[in-house]
Structure formats: structure tokens, C-alpha cells
A and B are shown apart, each in its own frame.
Chain A
Amino acid sequence: MQRVYLDHNATTPLLPAVIDRMMAVLREEFGNPSSVHHFGQQAKASLDEARTDVANLIGAEPSEVLFTSGGTEADNIAIRGAAEALEATGKRHLIASAIEHEAVLNTLKALAKRGWRTTLLPVGQSGIVSVDTLRNALTDDTAVVSVMHANNEIGTIQPIAELARAAHERGALFHTDAVQSAGKIPIGVKTLGVDMLSMSAHKFYGPKGVGALWIRRGLRVLPLLTGGRQERSRRAGTENVPGIVGMGVAARMAIAKMAEEGRRLAALRDRLEAGILRGVPGTAVNGSTEARVPNTTNISFDRVEAESLLIALDLEGVAVSTGSACSSGTLEPSHVLKAMGFNAHRAQNSIRFSLGAANTEAEVDRVIAVLPGIVEKLRSLTRAPARA
């Protein structure tokens, strides 16, 4: 079966150039970057090169980039590490948006159990956090504010620069999870004015198991992992050299084609969106269509459970998601759509389409062609619940 992959916000395939470079490292550059000898120096040089490439992706200095095991670890170091560093100052309050990834939400929950007060910022149906909402939530003892750059489920881009400014006015640090924007849209840490920024390689055609956290120079963040002095003692443990090198190549490639690929994906996404809205009755786009990453659309299908639609599409060879698969693979109502004020029903009948490098117009047209029949069939077999 010819399969169409429209789930690039979950993960992306490796670029051939990434594989080639990683293979070379796996085969020949096995050295430990901390070693003094030739082998260590060779590995260290590869690491430095990757650090520069990743720093360039976000307009940062290489020395400010810390490699991690992925976006989740980057978020954890940023929030826990900064919060713990500020504990002595008496700060005991954390803020995040209600539509953050679980990596942020559950980190706040864990800190709440240890005595931190936490506030989740509501978002309207646009899916965008307003600066006033943040201003009202900030207190003098707010340590860290964490708001994602682009949302993973609906793709909306948050007004990070304004939010960061508001946080700084009250003396709070600002972290942004840029896992869904890095590699997709231009990012400049100085323009955004943030203190910390998380990235994940596998969202932009790099390998899984590697990510990065940018920490503004001079900012004190306590490590989660203690041990050797790797990553300037902020993340102990021998570096995942092949993964990091892969992330570097992916970052370089993303920079090179970002503008052109962004335009191409936005056109494809708009074609898909328009085709679905036109071809399937009872559909609507979730969240703002103004400020979105170019590859993402999230559409609700009235009177169809997303769970069924996802399975039916997969059986047709079309891979999509609802954006919030739990560990068992089963689907629960999206916390993002619920936070946006949609009822549980709409939160349960929405599908995320996230496009990527290999997608073509022909693929998009095939999806537009098969969807109406699938939706109609599912609707015809949906019974009203026996009891509400």
C-alpha cells in the first residue's frame, strides 16, 4: 500500500544527509569527546560543529547550547533547574499555558507536589495566550514562566516576545518549548527575548533521543544529572555523539531551505484544509489560522470520533493523529482543545494533519478524495449513546 504520512509533528523521517553523517560517526568516530587523544579530539570537533549548527538555527551562541536526550529533558532542565536555582530567593510560583506539552505540564505537577504554586494560563478558542492573562497571573514570587512557541496539536504560534517582556517586568524567567517551531520557522532567541528555549532533533528530520536546551549566558540552572563535567557540568554523562551530530546536520539543512519549504508546506496545508472543509460537511478548523506554523492544521469532524477516523484513515494508508496519544496508544480528549474551551465532544472529534518534506500535492489530493466517504460511513454507523 502506498502510504501518506501526515504526522510530522509526531516525528519526521531522517534526511539522507543526516543518516550519512551519523553512519560515518557510528562507523569511524567512536571516540569519547572528553578524551585527550586523537579519537577524543575528533569526537569533540564533531560535537562543536553540531553545537554551532544548532546555535545558528536559533540565532544563539554555541556555548549557550546544551545537548539533551530530547525535548522532554530540555523542558525538565529548564523548569526544574531554574526553579531550584531560584528556590533560595524565596520564589515559589510557576506559570505555564494550559496548552503546553505534557513535558511541561507534568513537570509543573511534580513541582506542585513539592510545594510550588502553579498557575496554568487559559487560552481562548484562538489557541493563543494573551499577554494580559499572563500579567494577571504573575506575582512577585513567580520564578519561571513557560509558554510554548508553537503548539503541537493546532500549530498556533504564541506571542513569545511580548509574553517574555511581561514576565521580565515582574522579575520572572521565561522559558519557551520550541520543539514544534524549531526548524519550521525562523527563530532568534534575542528577538524572542527568552531566557531558555527547548528543541528536539526528530521534529526536524534529525534522530530521536537527542534535543537541546538553549540557556541565556550567565543564567544559573541546576543540573538534573550529576556526574562528569560534560556540557559545562550542566548535563553529566558521555554525549550521544552520533545523535548530536545528526541534529547538527538536520539544523543546517533546515536553515538552508526554511523559507522555501515553509512556503511550499503552507500552500499544501492550505490546499488540504480547503479541500476538507469543502468536501466534508460538518468540519471546522480549530484555533487561529492567522499565526500558525506552516505545516499544521487541526480539523474537527462533527459526529465522528477522531479515534475511529484515525483508524479508518490508517487502514486507507493515511497516517494522521489527534495530537495527544497516551502511552497505551489509545486516545483521550485533547487537553489543548479542552483548554481552548471546546466541549469534550469537539475535543474528541478533531484530527491533526501535520505535513512535511516528502508530501506532495498528489498525496494531499488523495486524502481529500478518500475522506468524505470514510466520514460518511462512520457517521452512518454511529448510534446515539444509550444513556447520556
Chain B
Amino acid sequence: MSGGVDSSVAAALLAEQGHDVIGLSMQLYPSTSSGQATSATERFGTCCTLDDLNDARRVASKIGFPHYIVNFERQFRDTVISNFVQEYASGRTPLPCAHCNSDLKFSTLLDRARGLGAEQVATGHYARVEQARGGRWLLKRSADPDKDQSYFLFSLTQDQLARAVFPVGGLTKPEVREQARRLGLVVADKPDSQEICFIPDGDYASFVERKEPAVARAGAIVDREGRELGTHGGVHRFTVGQRKGLGIASTIPLYVLRIDADAGTVTVGSRNALEQTRLTASGVNWISLDAPQSAVRVSAQIRHRHKPAAGSVIALADARAELIFDEGQPAITPGQAVVFYEGDTVVGGGWIE
């Protein structure tokens, strides 16, 4: 329970349906009011601040189920934040929400909940879980295509899906707010959270530099032929497809094509050069089927806001996969997830290499 409207309604709906609900909120960052010294640079978080935790508590109290705050600062730092920093330092563009789902919410939090006697963990995600005939658990898109979060949940295993409940997955956002009003929840009109929760000002580069000062290593910006066009202050400041902030005068718009963290170079080129048809992914998790040994037709999504595009995917050894798009896709970005869909159903997904 983040204190937002989605998880609040999720919990309240389950309680209303007669489930024995225990409310848990994760404290993920040092609390500034706990008396512990917290420097200005460490004060982050748009979600799960003290006010948000209080909102969650008020919802639990209103509906009438117990509510507790669990302190996962260490686990969050060791999994989500550490991965985030390492990815940027390696010239990749991380997707912390997906890691948080599979490495924290449906692992550490799930274990904690089971220790308290809970059978399943429900969250306010906009996605649906269904069990297919034969017992396989399926992950599907939300009823609200605009809010769908299945992209961030692709790495949930069968065990994790079996214990996951998404009570608002069948609702649209306006319907969720309507439910919140009907239930008299204080959070009914609370704004949606934006950006990455632990970097509320959106300045990822500064955050990464504070955590890993060594990343601020100057390097060259080069064109596809290797000619130096300019310099930069660290590869972590770039993401594939980026156009702004390159600081290079050019007659045509230039985009980041590649980032080589070892060499410290950022390769730029024209919009056309950004399009690619092939990608490979690692850490692939197959959900609706076993790792396919022959090509399967899917529509694949390479970013949260990417319009899925048709292609064929085939499993490779070592939990990898290769995807060939029918048409070139702009800015295939290492570190982001590629998620394969068949209609509304998640076939699987992995991390773009």
C-alpha cells in the first residue's frame, strides 16, 4: 500500500469481498522524520513518503483491517537502486520498476507476507493474472490500455504469478477513482505518481553521480565513422534515442545510437540510423508458453510507452532470446525490457542487450 489510490482501492475491494486483509506499506528510503541524519542529497522519494504511509494507514483504518509499515530500505538499496546505478554506469538505461516488482514486491515482500500467514500478495498494478486450463498462470494487460502495467511485470515467474493478485487490473483509472469515492477513501482524488519514485526531481544523472562518483568520466561523442564531434561528462548522462543535450552543432538532428561504457564513447547519428529490426534479450522469462525453440509471432514492446510492433521471437540458450521485428523500430535501448505479447497476453519478456 503506497498510499496512492490504486493500492488503496485494491486493498479495500479485497476487504469488501470478505478476504482477510493485512495492509503492508514498504518504507524504501531513509525517513527524514525518524531523527536520523539525512543529507539533502539523500532526501528523495515521491511515493511512500511519510505522508503517503499515513494515507495508507488512514485507508486501512477506514476499511478496518490492520496496517503495518515494513522497512525494506536495505533490500531496496541492494537490489533496485544498486542495479539502477550499475546499469547507467554500464551505458544502459535501467527499468527500476520492473526490478522492484520481481526482486522486492513479489520476493521479499511476498516472503514477509507469507510469514504473517498470508496466502497471496495484492498490489495496485494495472494488469490481470489468470490461470489457464492446465494450470499455467497467465499475465494479461489491464482493462485500461492507457494505464496498463503488464510491461513492468514481465519477469514474474509462475510461482510469483500464482501468489499475485491485481484487484484493479479489471478496472479503468476513472473506475478506480469512482470506487475510491464510493468507499469514502481519503485518497480518491490524489494525483498519480510520476517519474521514478526515488528520484522525484527527474535528474537521474546527478543521482547516479552521487551514488557512484566514478561514472562522471569524460569521453568522446563520435559519429558512425568514429569521427569525434564533441565531448561529454559521462556515459550515464545518455540514453539511446536521446536528441537533446548533446551539445553538438549539426545540420540534421542527431540522436544517440550507441553507448560504449568501456571506451567512454557515445555514438550519434541520424534518425534513420536509429531504427533497427533485430534485438537480443537476456534474463528472459517465458510466461504463456515454454521457451519456444522455433520462431513465434508476437507483438513486442520495447518501452513502457512504445506501440507494440509485430515480429518473431525465438528462444536462445542461457535464458536469452532473439527478436526480429517486421519493420525497423527506433531506439532499441539496452537495459529496457522487451515484452512479447499475443493479443492481451504476455508471452514473455527479457532485458534488451
Contact = CB atoms under 8 A, between A and B. Distances in A.
Given A312-B115, A386-B78, A387-B78, A330 B69 contact: yes
Interface in A162-195: none
B27 A330 contact: yes
B117 interface: yes
A388 to B, nearest CB: 8
Closest 9 CB pairs of A and B: A326-B34, A330-B69, A378-B115, A381-B115, A381-B111, A330-B27, A311-B68, A330-B71, A387-B78
Nearest to B77: A387
Contact of A327 (B33, B78, B115, B116): B33
B103 interface: yes
Contacts of B75: 385
Nearest to B30: A332
B146 to A, nearest CB: 33
B71 A332 contact: yes
B53 A328 contact: yes
B66 interface: yes
Interface in A374-388: 377-378, 381-383, 385-387
Given A315-B116, A326-B34, A386 B71 contact: no
A332 B115 contact: no
Interface of B: 22, 27, 31, 33-36, 50, 53-54, 57, 66, 68-71, 74-75, 78-79, 82, 103, 107-108, 111-112, 114-117
Contacts of A382: 111, 115
B33, B34, B103, B115 — which one has the most chain A CB atoms within 10 A of its CB?
Answer: B115
5 contacts: A314-B68, A328-B54, A329-B68, A330-B31, A332-B36
A45 B27 CA distance: 50
Contacts, number: 73
A133 interface: no
A261 interface: no
Contact of A377 (B36, B68, B115): B115
A214 B303 CA distance: 66
Contacts of B112: 308, 381
B115 A314 contact: no
A311 B65 CA distance: 13
Interface in A318-375: 326-332
Contact of A386 (B34, B36, B50, B103): B103
Contacts of B57: 329
Contacts of A308: 70, 112, 115-116
A205 to B, nearest CB: 26
